[in-house]
């Protein structure tokens, strides 16, 4: 894959039998490079025009199917694979090495921390190159690829923001824009993202809170560090975008709308959108991120039976909160459920406010009641909000035994039944004409809770 007077970019093993697992790309020393996956194609973008011959790659194994396209002062190299494989890139004198990463070697990635600057966001990059616009070959999405002259691996997982996304990348940063008013350009020290037009929502409004870009729950559930008003606007935009797509292209747009609905705390809307998307494209149900989102939506909507996928540890340590919540609501081991939720409690702290308000009091109360002393330590300090009073009571002492039936006879709109050891119905709302309800349980422990605390 080398022009004249350039050494062959790769040399097979001397015996000719070993598969080639790395090649040299003569892209030059000063070129800005970006690289990312588009479906089963690996795309490398250079901000300089470079003529390369791919004939040397024929018959070399995984890198055989390569094409090179030069458009003006931009070069696009595409490698087609039958399936996704772990790749990495390293800068070398005169160009870059593209290699298959060893199975036992962890992938390098960046934790993106944008800086609010001049009404926009600066994403720091070492020796940033030009920002190159192109259409994603797989989805047709409008992409702006921020290149870098030096090694600059991007995030592992997709990051959802207001009006744009940051896609996983091996080199540089890849912005997928959903709003025409957003632009990305080379800034002083990195890629600068801004909006055009006086009526546009400033992009720095979505920069609140530092969240690890590569948290599975954050990415798979489509969570965003936005205030409730911005979350609703984000959902409106994504729902509108999905509705405007041709039927055959609505899959990804519907998923984005479902994530936006979940992030603003509307699990039932997320359920409905996912159901329609999967009905039209059943293959979506095979994707672990879609399965996780659907299960979490079912759980929050009160359908624990439809949330069994949360018991799968595929999401790793970032999914333990949801595994614990599912275990609690489905009647699993309460002490284990409390331990799992305690492990994920710090993740919950950074969730969007509407979603956090839905589940944090329940999670805190469950940990306080069934967790170990170590588990309970994550609850300090509990918010002063009255919804957490029950958690404070349970942290102070164990429930007092009592016998017989206890009733408050005041008129009311409803109550909450809390069966001390019946974890499947913890904090389950029920129709009952009382201000408070106490339910004897076995062993004989009962709790008298005011419905007003959860109003």
Is the pLDDT assigned to residue 271 strictly greater than 80?
A: yes
pLDDT at residue 159, as a whole number: 79
- Per-residue confidence at 89, pLDDT binned at 50, 70, 90? very high
* CA quadruple 419, 423, 429, 433: dihedral, nearest 10: -10
Is the pLDDT assigned to residue 171 strictly greater than 90?
A: yes
pLDDT in tens, 94-152: 999 999 988 777 777 777 778 888 878 899 999 999 999 999 988 888 899 999 999 99
pLDDT at residue 76, as a whole number: 96
pLDDT in tens, 66-85: 999 999 999 999 999 988 88
Is the pLDDT assigned to residue 416 strictly greater than 50?
A: no
Residue ranges of E strands in 114-242? 115-117, 120-124, 128-135, 142-148, 159-161, 164-167, 173-177, 182-187, 190-195
pLDDT at residue 404, as a whole number: 38
Which helix H or strand E contains 275, and what residues bound it?
A: helix 267-280
Q: Which residues contact 13 (CB under 8 A, 6 or more apart)?
A: none
Domains of the chain: 22-100 (no CATH), 115-213 (no CATH), 228-396 (1.25.40), 415-454 (no CATH)
Is the pLDDT assigned to residue 369 strictly greater than 80?
A: yes
> What 3-state DSSP class applies to 334?
helix
């Amino acid at each position: 894959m080398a022009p004249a007077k350039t050494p062959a970019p790769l040399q097979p093993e001397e015996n000719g039998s070993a598969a080639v697992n790395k090649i040299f790309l003569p892209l030059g020393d000063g070129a800005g490079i970006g690289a990312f996956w588009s479906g089963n194609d690996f795309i490398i973008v250079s901000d300089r025009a470079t003529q390369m011959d791919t004939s040397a790659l024929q018959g070399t194994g995984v890198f055989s199917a390569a094409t090179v396209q030069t458009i003006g002062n931009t070069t696009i190299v595409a490698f087609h694979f039958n399936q996704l494989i772990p790749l990495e890139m390293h800068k070398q004198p005169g160009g870059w090495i593209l290699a298959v990463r060893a199975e036992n070697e962890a992938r390098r990635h960046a934790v993106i921390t944008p800086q609010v600057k001049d009404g926009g966001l600066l994403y720091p990059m070492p020796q940033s190159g030009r920002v190159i616009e192109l259409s994603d070959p797989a989805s047709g999405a409008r992409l702006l690829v921020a290149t870098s002259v030096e090694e600059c691996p991007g995030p592992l997982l997709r990051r959802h923001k207001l009006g744009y996304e940051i896609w996983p990348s091996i080199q540089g940063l890849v912005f997928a824009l959903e709003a025409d008013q957003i632009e990305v350009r080379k800034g002083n020290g990195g890629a600068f993202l801004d909006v055009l037009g006086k009526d546009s929502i400033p992009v720095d409004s979505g920069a609140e809170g530092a969240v690890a870009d590569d948290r599975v729950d954050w990415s798979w559930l489509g969570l965003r560090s936005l205030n409730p008003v911005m979350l609703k606007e984000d959902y409106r935009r994504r729902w509108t975008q999905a509705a405007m797509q041709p039927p055959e292209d609505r899959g990804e747009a519907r998923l984005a709308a479902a994530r936006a609905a979940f992030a603003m705390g509307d699990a039932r809307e997320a359920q409905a959108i996912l159901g329609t998307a999967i009905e039209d494209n059943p293959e979506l149900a095979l994707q672990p991120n879609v399965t996780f989102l659907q299960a979490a939506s079912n759980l929050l909507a009160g359908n624990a039976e439809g949330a069994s996928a949360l018991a799968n540890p595929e999401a790793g340590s970032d999914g333990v909160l949801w595994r614990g919540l599912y275990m609690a609501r489905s009647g699993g081991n309460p002490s284990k459920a409390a331990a799992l939720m305690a492990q994920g409690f710090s993740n919950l702290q950074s969730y969007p406010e509407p979603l956090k308000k839905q589940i944090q009091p329940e999670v805190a109360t469950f940990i306080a009641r069934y967790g170990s002393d170590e588990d309970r330590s994550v609850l300090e300090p509990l918010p002063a909000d009255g919804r957490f009073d029950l958690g404070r009571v349970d942290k102070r002492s164990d429930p007092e035994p009592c016998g017989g039936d206890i009733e408050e006879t005041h008129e009311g709109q409803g109550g909450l039944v809390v069966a001390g050891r019946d974890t499947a119905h913890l904090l389950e709302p029920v129709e009952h004409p009382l201000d408070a309800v106490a339910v004897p349980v076995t062993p004989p422990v009962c709790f008298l809770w005011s419905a007003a605390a959860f109003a």
